[in-house]
Structure 1
Amino acid sequence: MFKFHKEGAKIILITCAVVVAIVLLTDSLIPNFWVLKTIQIISLVFLILVLQFFRNPKRYTQINENQIIAPVDGKVVVIEEVYESEYFKDKRLMVSIFMSPINVHVTRYAMNGIIKFSKYHPGKYLVAWHPKASEENERTTVVIENTTFGEILYRQIAGALARRIVNYAKEGMQVIQGEDAGFIKFGSRVDLYLPLGTEINVKLNQKAVGGITVIATKS
């Protein structure tokens, strides 16, 4: 079962109103049967796409202090050691998950802990897999700390279609693994930056399920 995310409420209501108006108005304004039905079907398909994009399925996270879980649904596209220049200013293990428009776009906290840093950056809208997207696109950077992993960083990155990132993390908050951390609208990516030596449990091109898939464990 799933419900719709609160961030989609306004868009869903507007889309429903527009589709209903189109169906009612075209019925009386367009005499050609096939043109009428084509317009109405396209409108209904668009409504279905909006509804599926803002779906928010219930996920039952098995909270585990020794695990980092996937913050989002999508495909693992990068696993590599990189230099993180904004907060840590040193080398970290980066795991990137790419979300297509058909994926669930809810962001979930990857582990229990306290929010140490949370910052929004306006920016460009390069395609989410572009190498410069993590530094030049609209994005948020959030750091969570706990006693098991120390500090980990995740970065919500807007894609070519995304125009708004929602981030609920505030500095000083105590957060729970698997709980709702935000939303990215219409195509995006999330990067996780983990301490060197962390055991990675996923592989490239693997499908990740937010709140469920174990990304890494404490070695």
Structure 2
Amino acid sequence: MSILDSIKTTVLVPVHREGYPFIGIAAVGTLILIWLGAWLAWPMLALTVWVVFFFRDPVRVTPVREGLVIAPADGRVSLVSLAVPPLELGLGEAPVPRVSIFMSVFDCHVNRAPISGKITAMAYRPGKFLNADLDKASEDNERNELAIESAYGKFGVVQIAGLVARRIVWWVDTGHQIGVGERFGMIRFGSRVDVYFPEGAKPLVAVGQKSVAGETVLADMTSREESRLVRVG
């Protein structure tokens, strides 16, 4: 990779339109403080740069082989467990495999579909703003839920607001045919995304692993491989 290509992929990253109002407010505030000669102009400039960074929307290269389930969010895998999916999604009342990805305020917050299929249900639930890293955040926090009917069964995807996040946005609706890796929404300023798998699925990621939205493979629904063993350290 040339230096120019490296700059394009690491520095000149597109910014999502959801960030335009926030960037504009921060930039105007910075200009006013500079005009006033206030020392706060420097912290405000740093904040403006961070807001631009937060709303970045990089291009991702998504594996499209049949059966692959792809990470919907950048961040750290915080939970790999069995859990009962939200009842509103019609995925049943039995515990199923779940992978949770925690996004810090430094991660890209554009969320992508983990698998291709039809969105059969959506539900928005207002709630608290607990630390999204906690297990009970999946029940108590503000969240948006959707079910995707795929060739390998129904999947649930839940956007969960966190301590700092106060707004979940989405760009799809019930009946939408979504492709794996397609952008479907984002959570502003720190949050979590849960993926609920059909019964019997075996996640191929472990707690503590970093994930990249639209690229990291969470599971292979066509494989007979057991859940992956890991070594830490």
* TM-score past 0.5 threshold: yes
Match of 2:27 among 9, 16, 31: 16
Q: Which residue of 2 aligns with 1:3?
A: 14
Q: Distance in 2 between matches of 1:185 and 1:155?
A: 15
Q: Distance in 2 between matches of 1:126 and 1:204?
A: 20
Q: Which residue of 1 aligns with 2:59?
A: 58
Q: Which residue of 2 aligns with 1:43?
A: 44
Instruction: Answer 1 or 2: which has greater strand percent.
Output: 1
Q: Distance in 2 between matches of 1:169 and 1:64?
A: 23
CA RMSD of aligned residues (A): 1.2
Q: Distance in 1 between matches of 2:69 and 2:75?
A: 16
> 3-state SS of the aligned residue for 2:14?
strand
The count of residues paired between Structure 1 and Structure 2 equals 208
Q: Residue 40 of structure 1: CA displacement?
A: 2.4
Q: Distance in 2 between matches of 1:70 and 1:136?
A: 23
**Which whole-Å deviations, capped at 9, do the CAs of 1:176-215 have from their partners, x for residues lacking one?**
1111110100000001100122121111100000000000
> What amino acid maps onto 2:102 in structure 1?
F
Contact 2:26–2:44 under 8 Å retained in 1: no
Name which of structure 1's ranges 202-211 and 85-94 shifts more when overlaid on structure 2.
85-94
> What amino acid maps onto 2:80 in structure 1?
I
Match of 1:132 among 133, 136, 140: 136
Q: Residue 83 of structure 1: CA displacement?
A: 2.0
Runs of 4+ aligned residues of structure 1 deviating over 3 Å after TM superposition are none
Contact 1:65–1:112 under 8 Å retained in 2: no
Q: Residue 84 of structure 1: CA displacement?
A: 2.2
Answer yes or no: is 1:92 the counterpart of 2:96: yes
After TM superposition, the structure 1 = structure 2 runs for residues 95-174 of structure 1, keeping only pairs within 5 Å, are 95-147=99-151, 149-174=152-177
> What amino acid maps onto 1:76 in structure 2?
V
Q: Which residue of 2 aligns with 1:200?
A: 203
Q: Which residue of 1 aligns with 2:190?
A: 187
Task: Name the CA shift for 1:112/1:85 in 2 (closer, same or farther; >3 Å).
Answer: closer
Q: Distance in 2 between matches of 1:68 and 1:169?
A: 19
Identity of aligned residues (%): 39
Contact 1:61–1:212 under 8 Å retained in 2: yes
Q: Distance in 2 between matches of 1:151 and 1:196?
A: 9
> What amino acid maps onto 2:216 in structure 1?
T
Q: Residue 116 of structure 1: CA displacement?
A: 0.5
Q: Give unpaired runs (5+ residues) of structure 2.
A: 1-8, 224-233
Q: Distance in 2 between matches of 1:199 and 1:97?
A: 16
Q: Which residue of 1 aligns with 2:5?
A: none
Q: Residue 85 of structure 1: CA displacement?
A: 4.3
Q: Distance in 1 between matches of 2:86 and 2:14?
A: 38
Q: Give unpaired runs (5+ residues) of structure 1.
A: 31-35
Contact 2:27–2:45 under 8 Å retained in 1: no
